[in-house]
Amino acid sequence: MSRPTVKFFDVETNEELIREMNDEEYAVHLTVVQKAAENKAKFEQAQEAKAAAEAKLAALGLTTEDLQALGL
């Protein structure tokens, strides 16, 4: 599998350099991609928990606004 590329632009010479990531850049890239996937999974879990909580409230005939009115 080829690595992602990085692009550099030299404003003095107006030259553009495109090359594959070196080992250090690629390691950082993989770390960032992994962290993004973890964050996405946490966000999706939170969204599912929120939807489940709102469904339970609705089953009781309540809304999130009702809870806010009670100071919860």
**Digit-coded pLDDT (tens) for 4-25:** 999 999 999 999 999 999 999 9
**H helices within 1-72, ranges in order?**
23-59, 64-69
CA 33 – CA 29 distance, rounded (Å): 6
Taking 80 as the threshold, does the pLDDT of residue 1 lie above it? no
What pLDDT, on the 0 to 100 scale, is given for residue 31?
98
The residue among 29 and 72 whose pLDDT is bigger is 29
β-pair partners for 16: 9
Give first-to-last CA distance, the chain, whole Å: 52
Total-model pTM: 0.67
What pLDDT, on the 0 to 100 scale, is given for residue 70?
83
**Digit-coded pLDDT (tens) for 29-52:** 999 999 999 999 999 999 999 999
